[in-house]
Amino acid sequence: MDDNDLGNIGFDPYEFANVIRNRDQPLYPGCSKYMKLSALVKLYNLKAKHGMSDVCFTELLILQGDLLPEGNTLPSSMYEAKKTLYALGMSYEKIDACPNNCILYRRDYDESTNCPTCGISRWKEGKDSILKEGVPAKVVWYFPPIPRFKRMFQSHKTAKSLTWHAARKSVDSHMSHPPDSRLGNLLMINGPSLVKSRET
């Protein structure tokens, strides 16, 4: 199963709120050490750390579910686990890259098979020195920031912490943060236009 197999599962504020509401749900009745979400995150970290395949991870979840007492809340498949984690807004995108870090194979280079800068093939070379077409030599994992910002601003408390520097005012007339200075205030009010005029 690839990430694309999940279809339109992505960041949804209602799903996110539901996951957060259930974060204190015990892994099984009477369990105080692990909650459903914390256990799932730990298991998924093991999967990533040791390069476990999706099939292997599904079998591990089934085995864990059988070993745990009845009424446990552990997902029984990789699909269910990903659906829960995707609700947290932790999606990522895999982008093929040049092995020498020259370019990313996207936009203009999406269909390219060789790097226009160094000429190296996009595809991985096997032990028999034959290129495995369709298997990228290097992959970059891109974590889009917008879903993470949305997730961070879901909470009023977190949103207040993230915007304190713009909302706070100096109360003791001493500079304890750059916005307290005259230049800081000018930059906050006028922004890039002031910087541009100072350069010219």
Mean pLDDT of 111-131: 89
User: Averaging pLDDT over each range in 10-14, 72-76, 129-133, which range is the top one?
Assistant: 72-76
Residue 124 CA: distances (Å) to CA of 92, 94, 132, 136, 178:
22, 16, 6, 5, 49
Whether residue 58 is found in the same domain as residue 107: no
Provide the whole-model pTM.
0.50
Residue 140 has what pLDDT? Answer: 92
Whether residue 127 is found in the same domain as residue 190: no
**Spatial CB neighbours of 1, under 8 Å, sequence gap ≥ 6:** 54, 78, 79, 82
Mean pLDDT of 55-67: 92
Structural domain that includes position 183: 172-200
Reference 84, options 33, 172, 143, 25; nearest CA is 25
Whether residue 76 is found in the same domain as residue 101: no
Whether residue 15 is found in the same domain as residue 41: yes
Residue 169 has what pLDDT? Answer: 64
> How many structural domains compose the chain?
3
pLDDT digit string (tens) for 76-105?
Answer: 898 888 887 777 766 778 999 999 999 999
Contact 28, 68 (CB under 8 A): yes
Whether residue 32 is found in the same domain as residue 66: yes
Residue 72 CA: distances (Å) to CA of 30, 35, 137, 187:
10, 10, 41, 54
